[in-house]
C-alpha cells in the first residue's frame, strides 16, 4: 500500500510515530500529572513488555 495514495493513512502513521516518540516521556518523565493520568495496570504492562 502506498502512503502517497492514502494521505490520511500517512497522517495517522506519522501521528503514531510521533506519539511513540513522546510516550516514554509521558510514562517516565518528571511530569507526575501525566504519569498519574495513566492507569497503573497500563504502566505495569508497558514496563513488562519492554523488559
Mean pLDDT by 10 residues, the chain (51 residues): 72 85 68 58 68 56
Per the domain annotation, does 1 fall within a domain?
Answer: no
Per the domain annotation, does 15 fall within a domain?
Answer: yes
Containing structural domain, residue 27? 7-50
Per the domain annotation, does 23 fall within a domain?
Answer: yes
The pLDDT of residue 22 is 79
The pLDDT of residue 28 is 63
Question: What total number of domains does the chain contain?
Answer: 1
Per the domain annotation, does 12 fall within a domain?
Answer: yes
Could you give the count of Cα atoms lying within 13 Å of 27 in the half-sphere of its Cβ? 16
Per the domain annotation, does 28 fall within a domain?
Answer: yes
Amino acid at each position: 500500500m502506498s502512503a502517497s495514495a492514502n494521505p490520511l493513512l500517512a497522517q495517522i502513521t506519522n501521528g503514531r510515530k510521533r506519539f511513540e516518540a513522546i510516550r516514554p516521556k509521558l510514562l517516565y518523565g518528571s511530569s507526575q500529572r501525566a504519569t498519574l493520568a495513566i492507569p497503573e495496570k497500563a504502566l505495569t504492562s508497558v514496563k513488562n513488555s519492554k523488559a
